[in-house]
Structure 1
Amino acid sequence: MQSFPSSAPGRVVILATGGTIAGTAAQPLDVLGYVAAQVGIEELVAALPGLDEQPLETEQVAQLDSKDMDIEVWRALVLRARHHLARPDVAGIVVTHGTDTLEETAYLLQRVLAPSKPLVLTAAMRPSTSLQADGPQNLIDAVNVARVAGASGVVVVMAGWLHGALDVRKTHTHRLDAFGCGDAGPLGRIDAGRLRRVRDWPHGVALGADVLDVDRWPRVEIVLSHAGASGAIVDALLAQGVDGIVAAGTGNGTLHHALEAALLRAKAEGVAVWRSSRVADGGVLSAADAVLPDSGPLTPVQARVELILQLLQCRSVRA
């Protein structure tokens, strides 16, 4: 059991990107009819007890609903996080984000930066004006986690749980406790101001932010296998010059025969094709006779980010 007060010296930098945590609704009981990304990070922080006594910096990197997250915001966020992580006076980073694409951003940040300091993403399922607003506690917890001495890597703090960036996924559409880690399980739990770690935090070798410094990122799309699926979507993507396709298959990454045939045509034409599973938990177990490679434990959206990064690396090597 580790208490938050035994924390690393230095300041925490909060990088804000919008999301429900910064959303507002006309009525305090309305948790659905709100508009995301309306409140600036300075205003959010000023309303929280105790944070004004801590050495903090805030920066508004973007202000958007995370369903609209795009490559340009990703690049800006990576570069600002890299800048602040390199500062000796910074203990850790907090990123406020929307929940819809949080798992994709977390995965990207871990793979590209693999920071030696804590980089903590947090969000909310209720807007800031709600009587059930969960953002304030999540943000306080995230700032405290960002100060944990000796911690490193990208983690997600939501509803008192710590999730690893490589495992986290949204598991519920509206519950406050809306995130999980599949088979991997959470990294820890925050209870009554104390942090209990269950397993090690993310680590790995950083790809480096320079991998993102290209004029055009590879276009990687996700297609879904389902009853009656055809190869029409794949053929349309081929005609548009897609660079990669992640197929969200049934069960253990299995594919409708018509869709699989189209994906094999795409592979023959030089498109990178991976199989994943549309099932919420459990990754794809590799089979010796598989005709298409799989993404292992990665969800379809994580696999898409990973495939983009691998294609970017290939471009860097060729250059």
Structure 2
Amino acid sequence: MNANQVRRLVVLGTGGTIAGRAAQANDNVGYVAGQVAVSDLVAMVPALSACPVDVEQVAQINSKDMVLGVWQALAARVAAHLDRPEVAGIVITHGTDTIEETAYLLQTLLRPSKPVVLTCAMRPSTALVPDGPQNLSDAVAVALHPGAQGVVVVCAGRIHGAMDVAKVHPYATDPFDSGDAGVLGCVEEAQLRMFRSWPQSAPEGTHDAAALQRLLSAAALPRVELIFSHANADGEVVRALLGHHAAARLSGIVVAGTGNGTVHDDLLRALKQAQASGVEVVVASRCAFGRVVPHSAQPLPDSAGLSPVKARLALALRLLEA
């Protein structure tokens, strides 16, 4: 096996804005996501001509419509390619809306020993100045970087860890932030400058096969709802959920609390009722930065620093193990 074969790259497409089309080149918001084949996206990036590439269309969706079936198909294909000795890394094209959730899922379940790089765009492929080709080129540089491992998100020249990345802007071409932890590194003219360590990998093999099998065997994720605490909040939403508990198979609730995970008293009473009925409740902070700092007076278990959307997914995955 020669050096080029060892550094083979896999590109998996799932749709998103990077594969979007608009009727006019100056329209960056009125486009339809998931229209361009991933093979066509690859053909636009010169960096991908430098090594052997396998291209596969796993899905073709707007990422706001992500469902368990797509996650299962994607995780299965990622795991299969990770097991190929000649594959150096995997790049996934994805929509920005739920990329942080997909990245978290893949890192938490697989903990890959090779790089799995999710990338995206904020402008469709038909834009006057599309950002997708550069993001895809940067993702290739990360996926082929010696020593790279784990799941990361690459956008606008920055490398975000899956556990920390969050979309914080609805329109800017650099819409992500990694909070207090900061980015892992950046890509500068196809060269990496690293600031932090790569995500942790599974102790044996190319990924955690047992965790993957739990996901693939699931007919559905345990139902975990996300609600917000806010001024003038009450417990009606929680009581409504409990009223349909049996039919909806409600298993958990994540509440995005104010400040340091504080929750309106009226809402808290309903959440305590949910706990008493067997529903697991976790509190995160609705603040964009920081985390819930645990303290003895905190009435609810906290999310261990996870954002509300990742805390919802983490609870569902934990309940799946039960």
Provide the TM-score with structure 2 as the length reference.
0.93
Task: State the partner residue of 1:317.
Answer: none
Please give the residue correspondences for 1:1-319 in structure 2 after superposition, counting only pairs within 5 Å: 9-205=6-202, 206=208, 208-212=211-215, 213-241=217-245, 242-314=250-322
Is contact 1:7-1:148 (8 Å) kept?
Answer: no
For the residue of structure 2 that corresponds to 1:177, the secondary structure is: coil
1:7 is displaced (CA, Å) by: 9.7
SS in 2 for 1:34: coil
Count of aligned pairs between the two proteins = 309
Q: Is the 8 A contact 2:138 2:154 kept in 1?
A: yes
Is the CA contact 2:6–2:85 (under 8 Å) kept in the aligned structure 1?
no
Cα separation, partners in 2 of 1:50 and 1:167, compared to 1, 3 Å: closer
Paired AA for residue 108 in structure 2: R
Deviation at 1:8, TM superposition (A): 9.5
Q: CA deviation at 1:204?
A: 4.6
Per-residue CA deviation, residues 232-273 of structure 1 (Å, 9 max, x unaligned), is 111122223211110001111111111111111001111010
- Do 1:13 and 1:90's aligned partners in 2 also have CA atoms closer than 8 Å? yes
Query: What is the letter of the counterpart of residue 321 of structure 2?
Result: Q
Deviation per CA, 1:274-304, whole angstroms, max 9, x where unpaired? 0001110111111112221000210000101
SS, match of residue 39 in structure 2:
helix
Q: Secondary structure at the match of 1:282?
A: coil
Higher mean alpha-carbon deviation, 301-310 vs 232-241, is at 232-241
CA distance, structure 2, for counterparts of residue 7 and residue 293 of structure 1? 50
Conserved? CA contact 2:33–2:124, under 8 Å:
yes
What SS does the corresponding residue of 2:173 show, helix, strand or coil?
Answer: coil
Distance (whole Å) between structure 2 residues aligned to residue 132 and residue 225 of structure 1: 40
Comparing 211-220 and 136-145, the one that deviates more: 211-220
Q: Which moved more, 1:273-282 or 1:202-211?
A: 202-211
Cα distance in 2 for residues equivalent to 1:47 and 1:132: 13
> AA paired with 2:193?
R
Q: Which runs of 5+ in 1 are unaligned?
A: 1-5, 315-319
RMSD: 1.5
Whole-angstrom distance in 2 between the partners of 1:164 and 1:201: 8
Choose 40-49 or 277-286, whichever is displaced more: 40-49
Partner residue of 2:205?
none
Among the aligned pairs, what percent are the same residue? 55
Give the Cα separation in 2 of the matches to 1:59 and 1:234: 42
CA distance in 1, matches of 2:201, 2:10: 23
